[in-house]
Amino acid sequence: MKCKICGKNAEIQAFGMWLCRDCFLKLFFRRVNKILKKYWHGEKIWVALSGGKDSMALLHYLWENGYPVHGYHINLGIGDYSRSVEDIIRSYTEELGVELLITNLREEYGFSIGEIRRKPCSACGTVKRYLMNKVPRENGAEILVTGHNMDDFLEFFIKNMLGKNYSWSRKLVPYLEREHPKLLPKLRPFYLVGDKEIEIYAKLKGVKYIKENCPLAKLSGWKEILYEIEKKKKNFRYEMILSVWEMAYFFPQEKREIRECKLCGEPTSRDICSFCTLRMRYGKKSTG
Ligand code: AMP
Ligand code: FES
Ligand code: ZN
C-alpha cells in the first residue's frame, strides 16, 4: 500500500486512508493542535493522569510539543491495580522530566474506592471530579487537561440521548469555561481523535501506559458499535463528533446555583458536596 498523502510505503490505516508513519503523525498533530490552538492561551496546564493510554499519550504530546505541563494522579486504592498504575506514572513522568503530584485517597482522606461496595464507579467519578479540580488549583494550575477522547464523547452523547439527559450534552465540547472562581476550566485536546488513533500514536512514540482496564469498570459496548459503523461509513466517528460539537451548544445549560460546601469550601450545588458526603460515610479522618 502507498501513503495517500506522500506516496511512500504505507503501513497504517487511519483517518479513513492508508498512511505512512510521518503523514499519520502530521494528521494526528493537526487534529490535536486544532483544539489546543483554539482554546489554550498560555495557561499553566495540569494533565490528569489515569495511567491509561489516553492521558499518558496526551502527556507525551504536550511534553514533546513544549507545553508547560505538570502531571496529577489520584491513587484511588483499587488494590494491586492502583499500585501498578502509580508505578508506571511515576516512572514515565520521571523519564520525561515532568513534575508529578499524587494524591493517595486512602492516606489523605481515610477511604479508598476498592472498599466501597455500592456503586464504586459513581463514587470514583465524584472523587476524581473533586480532587482533579481542587488539588491542581491549589497548586497553581490555571487549566485542567484530561485524556477524554472522541470515542468517549460519542459514547456519552449516545447514552445521554437515550436517557434524555439533554443538559449533560451541553458539556460534550472540547473546552469548558470556568463556571466559578474555584472551578478550573477544562480542556480535552483529544476531542478529535479516538481510541484507535491514540493507540497508534502511543505505539509510534513508545508511550508507556497500563494495558489493563480498571477491574471495577464495566464496558458498555457502544465503542465497538461505533467502529462497526465506521467499517461501512468511512470517517463516521469524525463527522459525528463535528456534529456533536456544534449541536452541544443548542442544548440547555444545566441551571444550577454554585455555592461553597459548608464543610470543605469547594464548589457544589448542595449544602454539603458529594465528596464530603462520601468522606463522612467512608472516611476515617475529618480534614478536608
Ligand atoms: P475516565 O473517567 O477513567 O474515563 O478518565 C477520563 C480522564 O480522567 C482520563 O483521561 C484522565 O485524564 C482523568 N483521570 C482518570 N482517572 C484518573 C486518576 N486516577 N487520576 C488522575 N486523573 C485521572
Ligand atoms: Fe474509577 Fe475504576 S477507575 S471505578
Ligand atoms: Zn465538601
Interval 39-78: pLDDT, tens:
999 999 999 999 999 999 999 999 999 999 999 999 999 9
Nearest-5° Cα angle at 153, 115 to 277: 30
Task: Please report the sign of the dihedral spanned by the C-alpha atoms of residue 81, residue 84, residue 88, residue 90.
Answer: positive
- The alpha carbon of 70 and the centre of ligand 3 are apart by a number of angstroms equal to 25
In 3D, which of 23, 24, 21, 18 has the Cα closest to residue 2?
Answer: 18
Q: Identify the segments of the chain with pLDDT beneath 50.
A: 286-288
What are the cell numbers at 57? 499519550
DSSP 22-48: HHHHHHHHHHHHHHHHHH--SPPEEEE
Provide the residue ranges of all domains of the chain, joining segments of one domain with +. Answer: 31-255
Chain-centre distance of CA 217, in angstroms? 15
- The ligand with the least distance to the CA atom of 259 is 3
- Residues 223 and 196: their CA atoms lie apart, in Å, by 11
CATH of 31-255, one of 3.90.480.20, 3.40.50.620, 3.40.50.800, 3.40.50.300: 3.40.50.620
Beta bridge partners of 145: 47, 187
SS (H, E, C) 60-96: HHHHHCCCCEEEEEEECCCHHHHHHHHHHHHHHHHHH
| Ligand 1 pocket by Cβ (under 6 Å) | 48-50, 54-55, 72-74, 76, 128, 132, 146-148
Percent of the chain with pLDDT over 90: 91
Of 244, 237, 243, whose CA–CA distance to 197 is shortest? Answer: 237
pLDDT, position 288:
44
Return the residue whose CA atom lies nearest to atom 1 of ligand 2: 124
Kindly report, residue by residue over 248-284, the tens digit of the pLDDT: 999 877 778 999 999 999 999 999 999 999 999 998 7
Which of 124, 130, 212 for mutating ligand 2's site (highest number of atoms within 8 Å of CB)?
124
From the CA of 152, give the closest atom in ligand 1.
4
Q: Which residues, listed in sequence order, are joined to residue 45 by a DSSP beta bridge?
A: 69, 143
Task: Using the mean position of ligand 1's atoms as its centre, give its distance from the Cα of residue 125 in Å.
Answer: 9
134, three cell numbers: 481542587
Q: Which of 153, 187, 181, 243 is nearest to 40 (CA)?
A: 187
CA of 42 from ligand 2 middle (Å) equals 31
How remote is the CA of residue 277 from the centroid of ligand 2, in Å? 18
pLDDT attached to residue 285: 52
pLDDT at res. 286: 47
Q: How far apart are CA 239 and CA 54, in angstroms?
A: 21
DSSP state of 103: E
Ligand 2 atom with minimal separation from the 113 CA: 4
Which amino acid appears at position 129 of this protein? Answer: R
pLDDT of residue 82: 97
Q: What is the DSSP pairing of strand 175-176 with strand 186-187?
A: antiparallel
Grid cell for residue 84: 501498578
Count CB atoms within 10 A of the CB of residue 143.
Answer: 20
- CA dist 125 and 114 (Å) reads 13
